[in-house]
């Protein structure tokens, strides 16, 4: 019988979690009550105690609790619960997770949920769910349900909210997985300036029997792609739009963080990489561009998006990073350089054409890469370049 983890601060929210657990069991599922509280004794008996949770991260929760620093307690449990939940999932002991809480409970529970694979049922009833939930959800599929009232006791309103949440997690667990997902997955990164390339490569890979999932290289999109790669669901990577590194290096608004391109190394997944759109750094409306960049080359993509051309020094640094990230992957990797243009607006006669910056980029890749590096005298959106990338990835997947 499927088991749903019900986790929360059972010292203060025990009756609420017991109510939800009863509803889940009434729906035909088993439950596993997990206590992440650090105050008084739990109001209901947990199946996994706070000490067992803390032990997963080698944390002495009693010593921390004695200091009565609520922030330290929340941080400690937020560090431990991801480890414990990941272990329970790996061991096949839970099939879904639900929690109820205010600020502290939400921080702890969602930290644990973010450690779980995409597709694994995750429901959070929270006092914070009607605001900015990005810090709690991250790149994972956590269903956030506003508690409307504070999570503080049972009443006619809270019972309705809690019962709907219990029904939601039971429905998720009971629905199983889509049986049509039998094709191996390839993930690809895309920007508006590489759409033509990715669409052509995608068609070839789908023709070869793969399902291709395309992620927008907009910071959050790159992070989401990395998360899926880490999940183990991905067979191959077509990372032709590494533009987020331009924002990371220069200070644009669409950076994906310094761990971008690390997931392929962790998961050991074959990859084809290109320096697509690293000629551009993203900002908002023109008036939002920091003063330090005055005098640079800009392109108004639309009233809300201003692109800035990367210079030779920045391109050299980006090229080195791309090469080093590719080198770290123990699986087969190839870097393909489109020498005539790395974006739609980068070719000769286009707004972002800068031969010196492009040369610095390609030289840095060649000088630092230990993986296979292929120079093609093509623009990135040339169908021939897309075909070369797709065929190279198919070849790596068959090694």
Beta strands in 230-293 (DSSP E): 234-239, 271-273, 280-283
Q: Which helix (H) or strand (E) holds 201?
A: helix 195-207
Same domain, 231 and 156: no
**CATH number of 261's domain:** 3.40.50.12030
Whether 338 is in a domain gets the answer yes
Look at residues 280, 242, 247 and name the one whose alpha carbon lies nearest to residue 262. Answer: 242
Name the region of 103 (left: φ>0; alpha: ψ -120 to 50; beta: rest): alpha
What integer pLDDT is reported at residue 376 of this predicted model?
98
Whether 180 is in a domain gets the answer no
The parts of the chain modelled with pLDDT lower than 50 are 179
What integer pLDDT is reported at residue 179 of this predicted model?
46
- Last residue of a domain, which of 153, 175, 197? 175
Q: What would the pLDDT profile of 176-231 be if each residue is shown by its tens digit?
A: 765 456 789 999 999 999 999 999 999 999 999 999 999 999 999 999 999 999 88
Beta strands in the chain (DSSP E): 3-8, 30-35, 96-101, 122-126, 143-146, 185-190, 211-216, 234-239, 271-273, 280-283, 298-302, 305-309, 333-338, 372-376
CA distance to 113, 269, 309, 331, per residue, from 185 (Å)? 23, 11, 33, 16
> pTM here?
0.78
What integer pLDDT is reported at residue 224 of this predicted model?
93
Same domain, 194 and 329: yes
Whether 353 is in a domain gets the answer yes
**CATH number of 106's domain:** 3.40.50.12020
What integer pLDDT is reported at residue 182 of this predicted model?
77
- Residue 380: give the domain boundaries: 185-397
C-alpha–C-alpha distance, residues 147 and 165, integer Å: 10
Same domain, 309 and 206: yes
Whether 170 is in a domain gets the answer yes
Local structure of residue 7 (DSSP, 8 states): E
Same domain, 226 and 77: no
Same domain, 197 and 164: no
C-alpha–C-alpha distance, residues 310 and 300, integer Å: 15
Same domain, 131 and 190: no
C-alpha–C-alpha distance, residues 239 and 256, integer Å: 14
What integer pLDDT is reported at residue 360 of this predicted model?
98
Same domain, 223 and 155: no
Whether 96 is in a domain gets the answer yes
Same domain, 238 and 210: yes
Same domain, 41 and 128: yes
Same domain, 21 and 145: yes
Angle at which helix 312-328 crosses helix 355-368, to 10 degrees, equals 30
Whether 109 is in a domain gets the answer yes
Burial of 40: CB neighbours in 10 Å, binned 0-12, 13-18, 19+: exposed
Number of domains in the chain: 2
Contact between 323 and 330 (Cβ < 8 Å): no
């Amino acid at each position: 019988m499927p088991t749903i983890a019900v986790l929360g601060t059972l010292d203060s929210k025990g009756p609420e979690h017991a109510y939800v657990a009863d509803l889940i069991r009434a729906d035909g599922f088993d439950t596993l009550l997990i206590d992440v509280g650090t105050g008084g004794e739990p109001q209901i008996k947990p199946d996994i105690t706070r000490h067992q949770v803390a032990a997963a991260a080698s944390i002495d929760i009693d010593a921390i609790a004695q200091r009565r620093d609520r922030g330290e307690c929340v941080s400690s449990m937020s560090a431990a619960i991801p480890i414990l939940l990941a272990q329970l999932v790996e061991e096949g002991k839970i099939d879904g997770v639900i929690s109820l809480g205010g600020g502290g409970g939400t921080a702890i529970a969602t930290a644990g949920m973010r450690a779980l694979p995409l597709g694994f049922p995750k429901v959070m009833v929270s006092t914070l769910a009607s605001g900015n939930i990005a810090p709690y959800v991250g790149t994972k599929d956590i269903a956030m349900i506003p508690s409307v009232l504070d999570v503080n006791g049972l009443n006619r309103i809270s019972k309705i909210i809690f019962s709907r949440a219990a029904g939601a997690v039971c429905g998720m667990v009971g629905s199983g997985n889509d049986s049509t997902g039998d094709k191996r997955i390839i993930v690809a990164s895309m920007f508006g300036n590489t759409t033509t390339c990715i669409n052509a490569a995608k068609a070839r890979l789908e023709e070869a029997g793969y399902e291709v999932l395309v992620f927008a290289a907009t910071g959050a999109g790159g992070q989401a792609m990395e998360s899926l790669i880490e999940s183990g669901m991905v067979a191959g990577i077509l990372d032709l739009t590494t533009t987020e590194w331009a924002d990371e290096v220069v200070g644009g608004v669409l950076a994906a963080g310094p761990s971008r391109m690390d997931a392929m190394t962790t998961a050991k997944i074959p990859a084809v990489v290109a320096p697509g759109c690293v000629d551009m750094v993203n900002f908002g409306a023109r008036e939002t561009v920091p003063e330090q960049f005055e005098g640079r080359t800009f392109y108004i993509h639309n009233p809300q998006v201003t692109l800035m051309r990367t210079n030779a020094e920045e391109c050299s640094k980006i090229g080195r990073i791309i090469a080093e990230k590719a080198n770290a992957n123990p699986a087969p990797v190839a870097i393909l350089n489109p020498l005539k243009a790395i974006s739609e607006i980068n070719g000769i006669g286009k707004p972002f054409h800068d031969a010196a910056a492009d040369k610095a980029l390609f030289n840095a890749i060649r000088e630092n890469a230990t993986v296979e590096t292929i120079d093609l005298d093509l623009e990135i959106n040339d169908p021939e370049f897309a075909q070369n990338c797709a065929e190279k990835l198919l070849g790596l997947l068959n090694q």
